[in-house]
Chains A and B, each alone.
Chain A
Amino acid sequence: MMNVFGRRILQLSKQLSSNLFVRNSTHFNYYPDTVAASEGETNRMNLFQAINNSLDLALTKNPNSFIFGEDVAFGGVFRCTIGLQDKHGKERVFNTPLCEQGIVGFGIGLAAAGGTAIAEIQFADYIFPAFDQILNEASKFRYRAGNQFDCGGLTIRAPCGAVGHGALYHSQMVEAFFAHIPGIKIVIPRGPIQAKGLLTSCIEDNNPCIFFEPKILYRTAVEQVPVKEYKIPLSKAEVIVEGDDVTLIGWGTQVHVLHEVCQMAQDSLNVSCELIDLQTISPWDRETVLNSVKKTGRVLVAHEAPLTGGFGAEITATIQQECFLHLEAPVTRVAGFDTPFPHIYEPFYIPDKWRCLHALKKLINY
């Protein structure tokens, strides 16, 4: 997958990151996933390698697919595209000028002409210059043309979420802004296995997709990932832990926070939690969520993004409407505070396991 040059760069950048970056906190423990032996040969991959693998397979399979964005040619600032230009050519993996609205607009046009466009926005925090192209153009392209034209071949990838020290513009979770847009799909994986399968689904889906990659997992999340191409369906949540007393709902890194909370609740409170990874934010899997809530009667939704207008509100309102008679306590949200994402205060800002556990106790004792 990766050439020697790529490995060398990777080693260097690993050294650099350990020298230069002081991580204030690692607020979660990673829970690696496993796949059945029937999935065939596997390779040890972290999240960025799994994404690289998915992109490599997409470029190999489809000669009309292209990867572009800021600094993707030399491998990307997070190494997700390393080796791809060498393997697939400068015409298919290339740098663009530094202009997000241009990147997304370019990708829409490439897709509308019949190509498969895989655009990278360097940080989700910087996707907003392209908000107009996503909201008014990509999402409405098929609808407004009466299905004469579409940009279903467009996928936008962007690193997202808390990283320990990213402050205001290298930490944001922005999915709720996009969840309010009919016509696009929003996907967030929790680890390498999901990342590869979900990204491949996004690339091949016939609708414009935004794929947010929790950047703190790029290196910390490591597991055995199937070597072959495979897809994980969009708009399907996954029940990771089955339980009877409370439903916990999260996505991205937060799934791992909640996973630990599950164990803490079991060990210290003898409470059985059911953990759901939503995976697709829009259109989301209401069936899986509502079935779980009907069984448990109690729900905690947690996300890094601010509380007000966060996607937890949408889930909560839907649960309240569909499961009213099953609920035994108010649906509870644990989220980032309604402030910008701060630098030195990050440990106090994020909805970590202690805040989630505290909320869970209240939920149980209601």
Chain B
Amino acid sequence: MMFTSRLVINQYRYGFAKLFRGLCSPSGSSSTQTTVGSIDLKLDDLEEKPAFPGSRSKWTSTLSFIRSENYEGIPVYRVMDREGKIIETDGDPNLGQEMITKLYKGMTLLNTMDRVLYESQRQGRISFYMTSYGEEGTHFGSSAALRDDDLIFGQYREAGVLMWRGFKLDQFMSQCYGNIEDLGKGRQMPVHYGSRDLKFVTISSTLATQMPQAVGAAYFLKRQGTGRIVICYFGEGASSEGDAHAALNFAATLDCPIIFFCRNNGYAISTPTVEQYRGDGIAGRGPGYGMATLRVDGNDTLAVYKATAAARRIALEESKPVLIEAMTYRIGHHSTSDDSTAYRSVDEVRFWHQKDHPISRLRKYMEQRNWWNDESEKNWKEESKRQVMQAFVTAEKKAKPHVKEMFNDVYDEIPDHLTEQYESLMEHLKHYGEHYPLKKFQGMEDS
């Protein structure tokens, strides 16, 4: 029904536009001009170029399909090789000893936290965990290139981004334990971090949903004109979701200052990329959406830094979206609920762990400049482990929030029916409290 009416209305509308143009033209209507849809064309061009409003291409009389296998993939940008050597003499971003050391310490601290929390899940002390093994370079390299108030939307494997922003070990641990210090009030599964102060939007499990949201936020930040942009992280598996398509297309048509940062680590749980897509990865899609696109070596922290810094300039100065695909490898299991040896070889994992790891590569870069050595490595390992264990023990001892928090924040104010449901639960606990873990929850012992 609407197809018919819209078509007819559109004809009237374009008719009006034409008439309006004719009336406004100072020299009267030009005989060599015509309007097709919203595009003005010179009549002389009509034979030379197609007039279809949907594209800007030329005619061809050769019948030839575009075939992606006829093209080489988009190259992988890197700054240093696997030995930490700068490839092009002017390629080094020269971030300086202090900054590089901070990056390195962050990556290794995340690595240490991952080990402790992974083990704690194995021991049943937290319910779930996801490590970042092998992808530390993408986190720290990219976040270091952002402004502190740029807004971040993530998937779930971006803890390093949050760590770079200043999220404390205590805060990570509190979220995983769902204790009274957890900013999320213990409502979400572990690793679903978020921080309003650090401009890191709270993680949710639903894949790719954050992508069109990040675009909407970028549109608003552009309107605010405060020089902030948005970065949105996601995996190559999430890129198959409809929301990824929505986001890339909206960002392009609405000119949003956003960096789409794809972590292509080769797997979505057990699914290898060959079962995820047949094009040239995720970067191969960028030009199709009309978007500046770059593929970068995700294990090269310096290349990731430079790529993100350059993307940020495009996003801000041109108010346009940019797509970065960071090629990397998921060294750890997908999560604590996954045993990845069921679908990939140990040798494959070993290669990436030993031969092409973002942490060891940055360490080699530092050692070549005498900024790091075995002794500083040993000292930092001990120090970082001490910090992590201290935060771990503290978080574990803390109580969980009051059960009332289960009913809070569903709406801005608790509606009457939820108040009644809360009261009915409290009434129930008066009679059956001994069957519930009341002691673990703050202020619930008397229920």
Q: Which residues of A contact B (CB under 8 A)?
A: 5, 9, 12-13, 16-17, 20-21, 64, 66, 71, 74, 77, 91, 94, 96-97, 99, 101-102, 104-115, 117, 122-123, 129, 132-133, 136-137, 140-150, 152, 165-166, 170, 182-183, 185, 206-207, 235, 283, 286-287
Q: Which residues from B are CB-within-8-Å of A104?
A: 212
Q: Say yes or no: A102 contacts B247, CB within 8 Å.
A: yes
Shortest distance in angstroms between B406's beta carbon and chain A's nearest beta carbon? 9
Q: Say yes or no: A109 contacts B5, CB within 8 Å.
A: no
Can you list 25 contacts pairing A with B, beta carbon distance less than 8 Å? A9-B9, A9-B12, A12-B9, A13-B9, A20-B5, A74-B13, A96-B254, A102-B243, A106-B215, A106-B254, A107-B216, A112-B217, A113-B216, A115-B223, A129-B242, A137-B204, A142-B410, A144-B184, A144-B202, A146-B182, A146-B183, A146-B194, A148-B183, A148-B194, A287-B416
Q: A132-B206, A148-B195, A283-B415 are in contact. Are A170 and B250 (CB under 8 A)?
A: no
A286 to B214, CA, bound (A): 38
Q: A20-B4, A97-B253 are in contact. Are A150 and B13 (CB under 8 A)?
A: no
The 10 closest A-B pairs by CB, nearest first: A105-B212, A109-B216, A102-B246, A109-B213, A110-B216, A106-B216, A145-B202, A113-B217, A148-B196, A109-B217
A235 to B250, CA, bound (A): 34
Q: Which residues of B contact A (CB under 8 A)?
A: 1-2, 4-6, 8-9, 12-13, 16, 151, 153, 182-185, 187-188, 192, 194-196, 201-202, 204, 206, 209, 211-221, 223-224, 242-243, 245-247, 249-250, 253-254, 408-412, 415-417
A150 to B216, CA, bound (A): 14
Q: Say yes or no: B192 contacts A96, CB within 8 Å.
A: no
Q: A99-B249, A137-B213 are in contact. Are A77 and B204 (CB under 8 A)?
A: no
Find the B residue at minimum CB distance from A21: B1
Q: Say yes or no: B412 contacts A283, CB within 8 Å.
A: no
Q: A5-B16, A102-B250 are in contact. Are A109 and B202 (CB under 8 A)?
A: no
Shortest distance in angstroms between A206's beta carbon and chain B's nearest beta carbon? 4
A184 to B221, CA, bound (A): 25
Find the B residue at minimum CB distance from A92: B223
Q: Say yes or no: A144 contacts B188, CB within 8 Å.
A: yes
Shortest distance in angstroms between B407's beta carbon and chain A's nearest beta carbon? 10
Q: Which residues from A are CB-within-8-Å of B12?
A: 9, 12
Q: Say yes or no: B213 contacts A105, CB within 8 Å.
A: yes
Find the A residue at minimum CB distance from B9: A13
A340 to B366, CA, bound (A): 67
Identify whether the interface residues of B are mostly helix, strand, loop, or mixed: helix
Q: Say yes or no: A133 contacts B209, CB within 8 Å.
A: yes
Shortest distance in angstroms between B83's beta carbon and chain A's nearest beta carbon? 42
Q: Which residues from A are CB-within-8-Å of B415?
A: 235, 283
Find the A residue at minimum CB distance from B209: A137
Q: A110-B219, A143-B187, A144-B192 are in contact. Are A283 and B213 (CB under 8 A)?
A: no
Q: A102-B247, A106-B216 are in contact. Are A77 and B2 (CB under 8 A)?
A: yes
Q: Which residues from B are CB-within-8-Å of A115?
A: 220, 223
A286 to B201, CA, bound (A): 35
Q: Say yes or no: B211 contacts A150, CB within 8 Å.
A: no
Q: A16-B5, A165-B1 are in contact. Are A97 and B250 (CB under 8 A)?
A: yes
Find the B residue at minimum CB distance from A283: B415
Shortest distance in angstroms between B404's beta carbon and chain A's nearest beta carbon? 13
Q: A132-B209, A144-B187, A183-B410 are in contact. List 16 more A-B contacts (CB 8 A).
A: A20-B4, A96-B254, A97-B246, A97-B250, A101-B242, A109-B216, A113-B217, A137-B206, A143-B410, A145-B183, A145-B196, A146-B182, A147-B408, A148-B202, A152-B412, A165-B1
Shortest distance in angstroms between B180's beta carbon and chain A's nearest beta carbon? 11
A152 to B8, CA, bound (A): 38
Q: Say yes or no: B184 contacts A145, CB within 8 Å.
A: yes
Partner among A99, A113, A185, A206 whose Cβ is within 8 Å of the Cβ of B250: A99
Q: Say yes or no: B192 contacts A102, CB within 8 Å.
A: no
Q: Say yes or no: B209 contacts A105, CB within 8 Å.
A: yes
Q: Which residues from A are CB-within-8-Å of B217?
A: 109-110, 112-113
Partner among A71, A91, A105, A143 whose Cβ is within 8 Å of the Cβ of B409: A143
Q: Which residues from B are CB-within-8-Å of A148?
A: 183-184, 194-196, 202
Q: A110-B220, A144-B187 are in contact. Are A16 and B9 (CB under 8 A)?
A: yes
A123 to B9, CA, bound (A): 18
A91 to B417, CA, bound (A): 40
Find the B residue at minimum CB distance from A147: B409
Shortest distance in angstroms between B243's beta carbon and chain A's nearest beta carbon? 6
A148 to B197, CA, bound (A): 9
Most buried by B among A97, A111, A144, A170: A144
A310 to B352, CA, bound (A): 55
A99 to B251, CA, bound (A): 13
Q: Which residues from B are CB-within-8-Å of A149?
A: 194, 196, 201-202
A157 to B422, CA, bound (A): 32
Q: Say yes or no: A207 contacts B209, CB within 8 Å.
A: no
Q: Which residues from B are CB-within-8-Å of A141?
A: 202
A309 to B264, CA, bound (A): 43
Q: Say yes or no: A182 contacts B185, CB within 8 Å.
A: no
Q: Which residues from A are CB-within-8-Å of B247?
A: 102, 105
Q: Which residues from B are CB-within-8-Å of A137?
A: 204, 206, 209, 213
Q: Say yes or no: A9 contacts B409, CB within 8 Å.
A: no
Q: Which residues from B are CB-within-8-Å of A110?
A: 216-217, 219-220
A110 to B218, CA, bound (A): 8
Most buried by A among B4, B16, B246: B246
Q: A20-B4, A102-B246 are in contact. Are A136 and B206 (CB under 8 A)?
A: yes
A149 to B184, CA, bound (A): 10
A291 to B4, CA, bound (A): 48
Q: Say yes or no: B5 contacts A102, CB within 8 Å.
A: no
Q: Which residues from A are CB-within-8-Å of B1?
A: 21, 165-166, 170
A114 to B149, CA, bound (A): 14
Q: Say yes or no: A105 contacts B246, CB within 8 Å.
A: yes
A77 to B220, CA, bound (A): 26
Q: Which residues from A are CB-within-8-Å of B213?
A: 105-106, 108-109, 112, 137
A41 to B320, CA, bound (A): 46
Q: Say yes or no: B412 contacts A77, CB within 8 Å.
A: no
Q: Which residues from B are CB-within-8-Å of A114?
A: 220, 224
Most buried by B among A113, A114, A183, A207: A113
Q: Which residues from A are CB-within-8-Å of B416?
A: 283, 286-287
Most buried by B among A66, A106, A132, A287: A106
Find the B residue at minimum CB distance from A164: B1
Shortest distance in angstroms between A47's beta carbon and chain B's nearest beta carbon? 17
Q: Which residues from B are CB-within-8-Å of A12?
A: 9, 12
Q: Say yes or no: B417 contacts A283, CB within 8 Å.
A: yes
Q: Which residues from B are CB-within-8-Å of A183?
A: 410-411
Find the B residue at minimum CB distance from A108: B213
Q: Which residues from B are CB-within-8-Å of A206?
A: 412
Q: Which residues from A are CB-within-8-Å of B417?
A: 283, 286
Q: A107-B216, A137-B209, A170-B1 are in contact. Are A150 and B412 (CB under 8 A)?
A: yes
Q: Which residues from A are CB-within-8-Å of B245?
A: 99, 102
A109 to B206, CA, bound (A): 15
Find the B residue at minimum CB distance from A284: B417
Q: Say yes or no: B4 contacts A113, CB within 8 Å.
A: no
Q: Which residues from B are CB-within-8-Å of A13?
A: 5, 9
A64 to B219, CA, bound (A): 11
Q: Which residues from B are CB-within-8-Å of A96?
A: 250, 253-254
